Structures are given as structure tokens and as C-alpha cells.
Structure 1
């Protein structure tokens, strides 16, 4: 799996991201060609080789050549949507801007639609954000990691007056991300840089095991007491787990007919829940109740909430922030047994077959058809499945599952 690790020892900004990726081998001409799909005018990109703290680096500069009109989130999204960019680039780019606008809106107590991007900064931000998404795709990056993020301290002057550092929007964007400061009284991490990083990064922490192929250094514009650089490592990571991002919806209930639980769970699965489970709990006044938990992708939240509010007695639902979920690689398979065709689930670890598990519904059918205890039906099917699984089959299944 090809991955990128951003080492944010001197913070992060949008131009530093692009500078680092160009320095790591991104073709600048290809980047400019893709950015022209935005149909934006009045800007120019150039790079220059520079040095920070004795380390050679690439500095990317966006020069805005003409006055630009003020743009809000809807304007930015419209520019992206009307462009001829790849759909995947459009989606990710809009996610970054939405995250940025939400942070600004929360800080200033406004709706996201009311947030305006600076006339010149809007073009800068478009190039930085869309450019970063394009760059990662052009380099074939499948997963993004990042270190803890260095932030500055002190104050910065802006249209609102003096603001503390890190800027309020930056701190909002970095909520849940490991950050630190060494007391440098400069803005090290910008809102745009934080929005790009927190939207596109899959995991923060120590550098993962990686066979490094390329290293890039993107230079910031200021001279600092430390090298003002963003370093990116690009290489291959051994991938033994699958992963996705999920949210967890939870609600406590103590006043609902338990006979309804099965229908509710089926309705939630029908609307896209990945898992649904019930946990006995004691609630206020020692009343026995049920904790209903749902694991799902964030885009299913609205439909699942609709089921909960329509089908249950709950008055409120807790929703976690998006979390990383890791899983063993797995694959469904149909095998021939003495009981006919049976669905089984194969799991892999380190590219090797770990286990074979017959599906419950299949075992239930066999148990009823052959008058067997279900445990015996399960054991018999599993034994036959294991016997039929040769090393050749395991290798073939491994290949088909993309491992």
C-alpha cells in the first residue's frame, strides 16, 4: 500500500503541502494542467529551490495577478462542481472547504453559508486545497499519515483584530489531533493547512513501518528558529488490515416493548448500518434499560436517525465523531459440501488464510433439513470447508481479495 507521512515538525500550510509533494516528485506541469480544469484565472504558480536551516527545499508560491471577487462556501463549491476535475477530486476538495467553513462558522457564530473567504485568499486556498487532493492522487497515495502537529503561540493580526495563536479556526480544526508547542511566537499551522491535513489524513501519530521511496521538503515563507519545513515521506507500508471510518450512534431506552427490537434492528440494517447491538444497562432510579448501539459510515447518519426517531421511544441520540475501524481482510465464498453449496467467510492475516466460518443462516438451514443440532451442523460444514481449502486455493483467494 502506497502511503504518505507528513512530518509537521514546523507546522503545516497549504503551500508547504504542495511544495513538499513537488519536492517528492510530483510533476509541476501535470499539477498545473489539472488545476486548469478549475477554470480560474488571474493566478500563477511557480516553485523555487531554497534553503531553510541548511536543508534544501522547494518553495511553492501562488501569485494572484488580478483583483478577485469575494467568495463564500457556495461560490467555492460551485467553482469546483462546474469544473472538469475528476469526481473523486471534487468530492475531497469540497470536504476540505466544508470542514474549513464549519470551523470558521463555529468560531464566529455564523452559518457556514455566511463565511466569506478573502478575495485573494480564496484563490490561494482553491489552489492549495484542490492542488493537494490532485497531488496525492497523482502520486498514487492510498493512505495518509501525519505526526503530531507543531503550533505557534502569541498573536496574529487579521481583519477581526488581534487573534491568539494558534488561530481559533485552526484549534477547532485540530480538535482531537495531537498538537504541541515549543513557544515559537509565529503562526506555524494555518487554517488551510489544518483543514487539508485533518480531512485527508487517515491517522496521526508515530511514523508507520514504511519502505521509503521518496522524501520531500516544502518550505514555508518565514525564517524561524527551526527549519521552516514540512517533510513528507512517500513509500510502501505493509498492509495486513483493512480499514474504514465509522460513527457510533447510541441511545438508552427503558420504556419500549422488547418485542419491537427485532424489527428495529432489521430496519437499521436495511438503512445501511454495519452493525447493531443491544446492551443491558441500569438507568436513573435503577430502572433496567437497553443501550442501542449502531455502527455505520457517516453518510448513513441521517437515514439511521430517521429510523430511530420514528421506530423507537427515544428522545435523543448520541453521535460519536468519526472513528477509524480496522478489520482483518475477509472474503465471502461459496463451497460445495455434502450438504450442498454453503456460504462461508474467509479471513486473512499477513496474507495467509486465518479462519473459515460458515454463515449462521446456512448452518441453521442444514440443521433443520438434516435434523442436526446447529452446533454439529456448524462443525461438520467447517470441517469440510477446511479439508477443501488447499494451499493453492488459499493463494488464489488471497489474490482475488487484492492482498
Structure 2
């Protein structure tokens, strides 16, 4: 069985997942074409390339928002693993009833995925991941799923991260997914609601039932998007399963740490 293993020794985020999949041999150009079915391609351009993180060559994936994107500028500062946006702002305003520029409702995202003519497997993976995040956000803010507004997860870059990851996993013919325990990092992050602990409330909610690994790094290692991809797709959490390894990919995070490479490793191979 063709299996993908997420080796999250430095956490996991959406852009790291896509970087690692490209690094392992997936075709980003086919992903770019498939993503056009969502009809939001005027709002972004994609870039990917090799970077070296503490001695390991890895692939960095970025979503660059264009001026046509309605994202408010005050949220465009970079933080954590994520590219060109702050994951901290993910929780901002999601309890407010009106639709901000740059925010999309859970309902709008589901409609966009359903209308995009993606193949069944990609559609189901994407919907399941968004539902996981939507339910976590709803739980934190005390809202039913259909009232949840996503500030960041609904923003263009996170839509790309989630649906892009589903496209590449499908493209690689992956039949099962396993993952290591997920290190979340520690410390605090500043968001509009105030100073929050790491892992952020939504991330922790998403990781219910998933083994969390301890680590001493005072930084946000697992983002809600990355946590949801692993929580939804992995059938099993633990050490690397016995497999014949076929390909390996390293996806770079934005941050650089002093003592270890900030990369996500994925290992693809056959389990007998």
C-alpha cells in the first residue's frame, strides 16, 4: 500500500506540507492548473524553490497575494511558519457577524469547493480538512458551523494550502497516511484578542485525540492548517512504519531555528 508518512520533528504548517510534497516529486504545475478551477487565481501567484535550512536542502512554497486580493493590509505581516501572512490573525473577528474584506465564511468555502469540479478524492479531503478547522473555530467562539467566519483560514493562502495539499496527495497516488506525534511549540503569540498561549486554542482543539510531542522550542510550530491536515488525513500516529522508501521530501518553514532545521519531512513508500 502506497503510504505517506509526515515526520513532524519541527511541527507542521500548510506551506511546509506543500513544499515537502513538491520536494518529494509532486508536480506543482498540475496543482496550479487544478487550483484555477476555484476561480480565485486573480488573487494570488504561487512560487516555490530550493532553500537550505541548517544544512538541509528543502523546498519553500509561497502564496503571494496580488493587489486584487481583498485581504486587509494590517494582517499581512509574517509570523510563525506561515508564508506572507500571520496565522495569529486566524482567530480575529471570526465571531463578528458581517463579512469582512479578506474573510470568507465556512459556507462560501464549501460552495467554492463543491462548484470547482475537482475530482472526488481531492474534494472530499479538502472539505474534511476545512470542516475540522471550522468546527474548532466554532467551538472556541461558541458558534455553529454555518456562522463561522474564517479570517485567515478562509483567506486565499490557506485555501491554496489545503486544496493544494489534497491535489498533490491525490496526484501521488497515496493510499494511506500516517504521522509522527505533532510538536506544537510553546510560549505565547500576540493576536488582536490579546496574548494567547501556544498552541493557539484552535490548534489545540484540532489536535484533540492526536498525540502531541513535547519540545522546548518557544515558538508556534504547528499551525491550525497544518494540524488539521495531519489530524484529518493520518489514520495512525507513531514512529515510521516498516516500509520500502520510494521518495523523501523536505518542506521549509519560514522561521530558522538555531539548533535544528525548520523543515517538515515526508516519506513515501510501500507498506507490504
TM-score tier, shorter chain, comes to 0.7 to 0.9
State the 1:88 CA deviation: 2.2
* 1:8-36 alpha-carbon deviations (Å, 9 max, x no partner): 00000000000000000001111111111
Q: Out of 105, 108, 122, which is 1:89 matched to?
A: 122
Q: Out of 114, 118, 129, which is 2:162 matched to?
A: 129
* 1:156-185 alpha-carbon deviations (Å, 9 max, x no partner): 112322111011111111111111232211
State the 1:151 CA deviation: 1.2
Distance 1:119 1:91, change over 3 A: same
Is 1:52 matched up with 2:86? no
Is the contact made by 1:153 and 1:181 (CA closer than 8 Å) also made in structure 2? no
Q: Out of 146, 159, 172, which is 2:192 matched to?
A: 159
SS of 1:10's equivalent? coil
Distance 1:163 1:10, change over 3 A: same
State the 1:224 CA deviation: 1.5
User: Normalising by structure 1, what TM-score?
Assistant: 0.58
Moved more, 154-163 or 189-198: 154-163
SS of 1:32's equivalent? helix
User: Normalising by structure 2, what TM-score?
Assistant: 0.85
Q: Which residue is 1:107 aligned to?
A: 140
Q: Which residue is 2:266 aligned to?
A: 232
Is 1:193 matched up with 2:226? yes
| CA–CA distance in structure 2, aligned partners of residues 103 and 120 of structure 1 | 12
Q: Which residue is 1:150 aligned to?
A: 183
Aligned residue-pair number: 238
Is the contact made by 1:64 and 1:120 (CA closer than 8 Å) also made in structure 2? no
Q: Which residue is 2:30 aligned to?
A: 30
Q: Out of 59, 67, 70, which is 2:69 matched to?
A: 67
Max radius of gyration: which structure? Answer: 1
Unaligned ranges ≥5, structure 1: 239-403
| CA–CA distance in structure 2, aligned partners of residues 85 and 79 of structure 1 | 10
Q: Out of 136, 140, 143, which is 2:173 matched to?
A: 140
C-alpha RMSD of matched pairs (Å): 1.3
Is 1:215 matched up with 2:248? yes
SS of 2:155's equivalent? helix
Distance 1:119 1:187, change over 3 A: closer
Unaligned ranges ≥5, structure 2: 71-100
Is the contact made by 2:21 and 2:266 (CA closer than 8 Å) also made in structure 1? yes
Instruction: Name the structure where strand makes up a greater proportion of residues.
Output: 1
Is the contact made by 1:14 and 1:125 (CA closer than 8 Å) also made in structure 2? yes
